Amino acid sequence: MGLNPQKVIDVDRLVHEPARLLIMTILSAVESADFLYLQRETGLTKGNLSSHLSKLEAAGYVEITKTYRGKIPLTVCELTRSGQYAFTNYRHQLKYIVDNTKDASK
């Protein structure tokens, strides 16, 4: 079975970007995560993380809630249902590509 090039082209580029993929991977493993946790785990700068989160939020993949813990601002992020679907679909697409590339090289 050969690799269908359209499957490679159809990969969700919003998720495929390494920093966003890392953010979505982390969020897929937890119910929610605050901004500082995501920053620490990803190693991204505040501005870079904020930019990637904004893109994911605009796509409907991440929900961002701004609140307070006492008097300290708190930004909490979680994957939406669409985000969970997009991440799962991305993983399936990647698995298909890897499995079929491996088979094609035999």
Q: Which tens digits make up the pLDDT trace of 23-78?
A: 999 999 999 999 999 999 999 999 999 999 999 999 999 999 999 999 999 999 99
- Classify each residue of 46-59 as buried b or exposed e, where b means 16 or more C-beta atoms within 10 Å of its C-beta: eeebeebbebbeeb
pLDDT at 92: 92
Distance CA 89, CA 80 (A): 14
Three-state secondary-structure class, residue 73: strand
Higher per-residue pLDDT: 102 or 91 = 91
Domain borders along the chain are 12-98
pLDDT at 99: 85
Higher per-residue pLDDT: 3 or 76 = 76
pLDDT at 101: 78
Domain 12-98 in this protein, CATH class: mainly alpha
pLDDT at 88: 96
* pLDDT value at 85 more than 90: yes
Is the pTM of the predicted complex or chain greater than 0.75?
Answer: yes
